[in-house]
Amino acid sequence: MKWISASLVSLLTLGISASWAQKSLDVGQTPQSDDKPQIFEGRAGTFEFVAADQGSLQIARKIGRQVLEVCDGLLTPPLERIPIITVKLAPDGSGNLEGQSYMLYQDIAGDYGLAIAWNENLSASLFTQVLTEAYLRQLVYTLSDRQRAEQVPAWLIAGANLEVQVGIRPALEEYLKELGKESEMVSLEEMVNKTDLDQLTPSERIASYWFLQLVTRQLGKEKAIRNYFDSIVAGRSPLEVLLQLDEEIGTFPGGIEGWWVIGFQDIVHRENGIVLPITRSAKQLLILDRFELIENGVPLITTSVELWDLRKNATIKQSITNRLRDIESILPRVNPVFYNAFRSLGLVFQSLLDGNEDEFQKAAKSFSEEVDFAANLARDAEMLSENPQAILPTPSPAPAKPSDEGSQDPEPSNAAAPATNVPASAIPSAATKDDS
């Protein structure tokens, strides 16, 4: 039986420090007045963050949006508005945490709130975990008419937490594959029956993430995926529901455990992993293209094609370097519909680092064309998934192929999952009606 090496465990648990969040997000600190402490408040959907500086607020809002993105993709949101979750980012000496890293509490109405010790000892993995747990518990509490928040499975929180981290830093998935190769083979039944996060071993936390990926790949359709997770938080057995929704799983030697062993080993040893669905590829592209800065204390939101005058900014340069690595990591798994768009975005980033304005202008134009072309392909794929006999609109001409080798023409027929209003839903909201 193989155990995870100590170095790999550190990557999964507390090895990603709060400085990782600072470097991963394109924000900087706003100096505080020496006269009195300042308080900054801002929304990210259901989350209401309270921070001591604008930089911390922007970090938290970006991570909060990713938490909502992941969790709302699993469960069907309630018809009623989900109550606001207040998250207090407490610097040292404030927050009444009494030495604790965080405190997840319920108010007199039973709604959830968070206080988090916001200092250099806070790991990004713990921060995303407590946000994920708070939102899932509040979501289920609302769905169940405020009766069932404690029935959110531990493995679901752990798996969704890692999916949030991968959404923020795609290259992390390669580390999770390495962790999976090094880890012991987890029993699916034992993992899903554990009721507390502290009961999950490092191997089971990794397995939770890959189980989420396998379930979404196996069920495929958004309706089936939501049906599965809705049933789980309603108290039904995760394994029984999965067998009911997909009878093919029961035909594997060893039943559902056999399906799990084969699927887990396949996914962690596969060179390119699972090809991402169209919608997820689109959203990941637009997350990589979206930049947040703070200029003179004011949040500034921009995209890659508007970065030329900011190319020498140290934060921008570091972020572009990180995002180039992310593109390199995610490109083999990108849905073919968006392959050329990702590649074009990489060329935009490279031209910014090289300081070549002519190449930047050409790359920016090519990127815009590729995004438009991919959006049209995604629309066609959605129509065909709903009606294979649908008559498609006359296609726009494809952008000219890049001159260098290795490019890949998008083919909508290879899509892993149908799109759902890709151009609109794929854009992470910078300031929705819930944001301030």
Please list the pLDDT of the chain residue by residue as tens digits (436 residues).
Answer: 333 333 333 333 333 334 444 444 444 344 444 556 678 888 888 999 999 888 888 889 989 999 999 999 899 888 778 889 999 998 876 667 777 889 998 888 888 999 999 988 888 889 999 999 999 999 888 887 666 656 789 999 999 999 999 888 887 888 888 888 888 899 999 999 998 999 999 999 999 999 999 998 888 888 889 999 999 988 889 999 999 998 888 888 888 999 999 888 888 877 655 677 788 788 888 888 888 776 666 667 888 888 888 888 887 888 888 888 888 878 877 888 888 899 999 999 999 999 889 999 999 999 999 888 888 887 777 766 666 655 556 555 556 555 444 444 444 333 333 333 333 333 333 333 344 3
Angle between helices 124-143 and 54-72 (to 10 degrees): 50
Task: Give the residue from 213, 235, 269 where a domain finishes.
Answer: 269
Does residue 357 sit in the same domain as residue 257? Answer: no
Within a domain: residue 364?
Answer: yes
Does residue 261 sit in the same domain as residue 287? Answer: no
pLDDT of residue 157: 95
| Residue 61 lies in domain | 6-269
Task: Give the residue from 219, 238, 269 where a domain finishes.
Answer: 269
Task: Confirm whether pTM is higher than 0.75.
Answer: no
At 177, give phi and psi (nearest 5°): -65, -45
Euclidean distance between CA atoms 436 and 425, whole angstroms: 20
Domain count, the chain: 2
Within a domain: residue 275?
Answer: no
Does residue 193 sit in the same domain as residue 228? Answer: yes
Does residue 231 sit in the same domain as residue 298? Answer: no
pLDDT of residue 108: 85
Within a domain: residue 274?
Answer: no
> Which tokens is 85 given?
């979750």
Conformation bin of residue 403: beta by default, left when phi > 0, alpha when psi is -120 to 50: alpha
pLDDT of residue 149: 58
Does residue 235 sit in the same domain as residue 114? Answer: yes
Within a domain: residue 432?
Answer: no
**DSSP characters for 13-76?**
TT-SBHHHHHHHTT--PPPPPSSS---EEEEETTEEEEESSHHHHHHHHHHHHHHHHHHHTTSP
Does residue 88 sit in the same domain as residue 175? Answer: yes
> According to DSSP H, which parts of 73-201 are helical?
124-143, 154-168, 172-182, 188-192
Report the CATH number at residue 128.
1.10.390
pLDDT of residue 405: 43
How many other β-carbons are positioned within 10 Å of the β-carbon of residue 148? 16
Does residue 328 sit in the same domain as residue 202? Answer: no
Give me the residue label for tokens 């999976």: 180
Does residue 293 sit in the same domain as residue 147? Answer: no
Contact yes or no for 75/230 (Cβ under 8 A) = yes
pLDDT of residue 396: 54
Conformation bin of residue 89: beta by default, left when phi > 0, alpha when psi is -120 to 50: beta
Within a domain: residue 385?
Answer: yes
pLDDT of residue 68: 92
Does residue 111 sit in the same domain as residue 246? Answer: yes
pLDDT of residue 321: 87
